[in-house]
């Protein structure tokens, strides 16, 4: 997948693509529906499949005082889109020149002149331009006038609850530790991605070596212990593994900065600086502070046994069942 981060980097060969437009935080089933519409149009025209998104997320620009809310960082988003077959990712800087454009100016200066898109697809609730003044109707009007096609995907809802599939609903589910509900909206396990960092190496001394990763800037799922499926994306140990992870501030050791520490089953090796993707499959228990190290190790033994039992029936690279319907 080609990744373009500036309009000045768009070449002649990049023009003519069909692009899905949005923030794509989490790349949930609603996002994937938009991407599917784009794929069909691109395939029919024998054109590149693209995604047009923005970095940083607009909410980080307009509401910088908000606590971390993102479901994935830019690297994880790019990694996921690449897996979904996107040919070119237009990841434009969300800066004053861009967010100052009206919807009409955005269509002319970005979609047509800047990127030369043949067509775009969006969600039915899509709003864009200065003051969010544009919507699907105005986008279609601009497309008719400027010569690009526009399609819109219907909103999706969970079959059981009737709740709309959205990044906000996924954040709420994760905050409660409801990882299966989040997965049903995502169409994949919620994943935390990033490089493995050096830590205090306490896990190794306890018989549970862990790969430690930062969750800075991300919406924190409920603190606690999870059964996880792990993809080691880079390095000599690249592959898929089962494991157990502790997410939180480690109250046993007086820490205050949250991270995720993952122990891989049946693994031996060094993962420092490797890029990991940790999928949250089941919430096992909340964070706890123990009376001593022996009690902690006994609980870690129990957590590992339970995680292995849960994961034994799940394909190591599989996806959860989903229950969604169109609006």
Tell me which residues are annotated as active site: 261
**β-strand partners of 149:** 119
- Would you state the structure tokens that stand for residue 187, as one six-digit string? 């169409």
Give the span between the Cα atoms of 30 and 123, in whole angstroms.
Answer: 8
Give the span between the Cα atoms of 59 and 71, in whole angstroms.
Answer: 13
Give the torsion sign (CA, 28, 84, 70, 248). positive
- Among all chains, which residue has been given the structure tokens 């993102």? 70
Helices (H), the chain: 29-45, 58-62, 74-83, 96-99, 103-106, 136-146, 167-175, 179-186, 202-205, 293-311
| DSSP per residue, 190-223 | EEEEEE-B----HHHHTT---EEEE-TTBPPPPS
Residue 120: which of 130, 129, 110 has the closest Cα?
110
Contact between residue 130 and residue 101 where contact means Cβ atoms under 8 Å apart: yes
Give the torsion sign (CA, 78, 82, 84, 87). positive
- Among all chains, which residue has been given the structure tokens 């409801």? 178
């Amino acid at each position: 997948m080609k990744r373009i981060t500036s309009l000045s980097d768009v070449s002649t060969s990049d023009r003519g693509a069909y692009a899905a437009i949005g923030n794509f935080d989490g790349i949930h089933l609603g996002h994937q529906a938009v991407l599917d519409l784009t794929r069909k149009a691109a395939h029919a025209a024998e054109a590149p499949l693209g995604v047009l998104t923005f970095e940083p997320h607009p909410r980080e620009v307009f509401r910088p005082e908000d606590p971390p809310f993102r479901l994935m960082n830019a690297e994880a988003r790019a990694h996921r889109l690449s897996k979904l077959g996107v040919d070119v990712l237009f990841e434009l800087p969300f800066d004053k020149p861009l967010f100052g454009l009206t919807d009409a100016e955005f269509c002319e200066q970005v979609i047509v002149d800047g990127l030369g898109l043949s067509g775009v697809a969006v969600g039915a609730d899509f709003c864009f331009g200065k003051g969010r003044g544009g919507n699907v109707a105005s986008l279609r009007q601009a497309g008719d006038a400027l010569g690009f096609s526009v399609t819109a995907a219907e909103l999706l809802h969970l079959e059981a609850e009737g709740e709309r599939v959205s990044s906000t609903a996924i954040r709420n589910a994760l905050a409660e530790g409801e990882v299966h509900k989040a997965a049903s909206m995502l169409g994949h396990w919620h994943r935390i991605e990033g490089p493995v960092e050096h830590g205090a190496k306490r896990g190794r001394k306890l018989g549970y070596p862990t790969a430690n990763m930062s969750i800075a800037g991300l919406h924190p799922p409920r603190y606690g212990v999870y059964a996880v499926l792990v993809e080691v994306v880079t390095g000599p140990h690249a592959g898929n593994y089962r494991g157990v992870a502790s997410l939180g501030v480690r109250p046993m050791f007086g820490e205050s900065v949250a991270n995720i520490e993952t122990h891989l089953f049946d693994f031996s090796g060094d993962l420092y600086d490797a890029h990991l993707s940790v999928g949250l499959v089941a919430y096992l228990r909340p964070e706890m502070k123990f009376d001593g190290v022996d009690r902690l190790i006994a609980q870690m033994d129990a957590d590992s046994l339970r995680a292995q039992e849960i994961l034994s029936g799940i394909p190591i690279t599989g996806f959860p069942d989903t229950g969604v319907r169109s609006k």
